[in-house]
Structure 1
């Protein structure tokens, strides 16, 4: 497996992996993958990482800003998606580890994620990599007409934002 920087040329594969996550009903409130321009605008320009195996993208991770307010400039929200055929094989851990390292190189001090509590594997991965549960959002939004909860997880950098 090889870590790569995400570029527009990979977007069809990114969208396909995202669609697999959407189809589970456990990954996002989104109902379809956005276009490249929408995806590109919604993510930070750095910390866009993919994993390739056999010349095929099998997972991706990227960060989004949480606010336009300058005081939150070091806080970002995590998106991480693994192709269905590669889940449970260490791809998520590989991506997340690289994402944490890159985020700290870019001065970020907090990474956060909102995860459906039923997505136990993703919650477990977050916690294994130093995230802690900081909240529970009851009926925060509807997915296909059904109210869903999310668990709010965050990881504070041990390098940035400590002084």
Structure 2
């Protein structure tokens, strides 16, 4: 579940994609037998120098792959990429009502660092945004 309320085109994402070509904050494709089933990325957190060792994680995986541990493998892979990018912390923004994503991150040791109640409205539903985080020392 994303916070986009209308379909997003490739051209809509070009600026984001070009910015993510930065070595510190890449985008990775998740594939299974040459079939793209998702993507993951690291992004700058908050934009101030004191936060340079913290990154925001984004993961999008096709729902048809649930139960195959793709999300777990993805987070474990990203953890191996942090040291070379001088990153020590990961922050994830997850709708608290998104039970599969909340469960995935919590199983990987992420804790809830914050909660923004009812900050989003999708299809007349008010959603809470959980801020999850993990230190990788």
Alignment TM class, shorter chain as reference: 0.7 to 0.9
TM-score, structure 1 normalization: 0.72
Deviation at 1:138, TM superposition (A): 0.8
Per the alignment, residue 38 of structure 1 pairs with 15
Per the alignment, residue 54 of structure 1 pairs with 33
Per the alignment, residue 135 of structure 1 pairs with 114
SS for the counterpart of 2:78 is helix
Q: Distance in 2 between matches of 1:73 and 1:44?
A: 17
Given candidates 86, 111, 114, the residue that maps to 1:107 is: 86
Deviation at 1:42, TM superposition (A): 5.3
**1:23-102 paired onto structure 2 within 5 Å:** 27-31=1-5, 32-33=7-8, 35=11, 36-41=13-18, 43=20, 45=22, 46-102=25-81
Q: Distance in 2 between matches of 1:106 and 1:156?
A: 14
**1:135-154 paired onto structure 2 within 5 Å:** 135-154=114-133
Change (3 A) 1:153 1:42: farther
CA contact (8 A) 2:55 2:91 kept: yes
Gaps of 5+ in 1: 1-26, 159-163
Change (3 A) 1:117 1:107: same
CA contact (8 A) 1:62 1:78 kept: yes
**RMSD of aligned C-alpha atoms?**
1.9
Per the alignment, residue 15 of structure 1 pairs with none
More strand by share: 2
CA contact (8 A) 1:43 1:65 kept: no
